Amino acid sequence: MFDPSCPKPDDQLEQEVMAILTDHRYDNDPVRDLLSRLWHRIEEQVDRLERVADISDLYQSHVLESNRSLTTRYEKQLRQIKRVVRISDLYQASLKELNLSLFEASTHDSLTGISNRRFMAERCLEEDQRAARHGSTYSMIILDVDHFKLINDEYGHATGDLMLVDFVKALSSSLRHYDIIARWGGEEFMALLIDADLSTAELVAKRMLANIREMRVSIDDMELKLTASLGLTEHKPDENYDATFRRADKALLMAKNAGRDRLVVIDPTNPLSHREISTLVSAAE
C-alpha cells in the first residue's frame, strides 16, 4: 500500500507519519498497516479533488505537482474551489438582477414607468378574488386623452410622449398611495381604486380631472395643455373585473359623446342611469 519512494513531505504531521511508515521496526505492527491504508486513502481523495479542479492547472508540470505535500496540494484546491464559489455567487446575483429587470420590463410601461395592461389585468383578478373572499369592493376609472392624435400630428410624437409622461404624473398625484394606475393602451389609462366605494372614487376622479386641466407642458416657447374624458364605476358583487371594465368603458364613451373634458359616473346598482360632471373643480378637493 505505502510507496516508500514517494516524495518527502514538507508538513510536520506528514513527516511524522512518513517516519513511522518507513521505520522497519513497525513492519509487523497491525497499526502500521491501518496507517498505511489510511495514508493511501487520503492520497486517493486528494487526487480525485485535483482532477475536479485541475482545469486551471494544466500549465503546471507533473514534476512540480508530485513534489508538493498532500496538505499543500489540498489547500491549493480549496482556494480554487473558493474562487469557483465566488464566481458562482456573482453569476447568481447577475441572474437575479436580470430576472428582476425582465419582470419589470414585462409588467411596466417603458415610456411612463407605470404598470402595463398585463400587470393591471392580474391585479384586477386578484381584487376579484379578494372581494369574493372578504366582501370588499373597488372602483375603476377608465380615461382617455382628448384628441391626442391631433397633438402627435401637429407637434410630433416626441412631444406627444413628453406630454404623456407629464399626464401620468398628474394622474399619479391624484391617487391614494395604495391605488394603481396603468397604461391600458396608447393614450388610454386605467386606475384601480382599492377598497373605494363610488363616493370615495368620485372624489379621486374629480381631483384627477382638475389636475389634468391644470397641467402645462412647456415645449420651446409654447405651453401646451391636455384634457381627458373619464368613466367611473364601482365593482358589483359577484361580477368579474371584465364586467366592471365594460361599465366604466361605457361611462368613458358617454363622456366623449357629451363633449369630452368631463367625468361620467355609472352606479352599478342602476346601470341605466349616469351622472355627468364637467364643472371645474379644485385639484385640492
Rounded alpha-carbon distances, angstroms, from residue 146 to 120, 130, 219, 256: 22, 34, 19, 8
State the residue for C-alpha cell 399626464: 167
| Rounded distance between C-alpha atoms, residue 198 and residue 51, angstroms | 71
Q: What is the grid cell recorded at 129?
A: 378574488
| Rounded distance between C-alpha atoms, residue 47 and residue 205, angstroms | 74
Following DSSP, what letter does each residue of 94-158 receive, concatenated?
HHHHHHHHHHHHHHB-TTT-SEEHHHHHHHHHHHHHHHHHH---EEEEEEEETTHHHHHHHH-HH
- Residue 132: alpha-carbon gap to chain centroid: 28
State the residue for C-alpha cell 415610456: 111
Q: What is the grid cell recorded at 99?
A: 430576472
Residues acting as catalytic residues: 187
State the residue for C-alpha cell 382617455: 144
Q: Which amino acid is at 151?
A: I
Rounded alpha-carbon distances, angstroms, from residue 83 to 48, 61, 77, 87, 90: 18, 22, 10, 6, 11
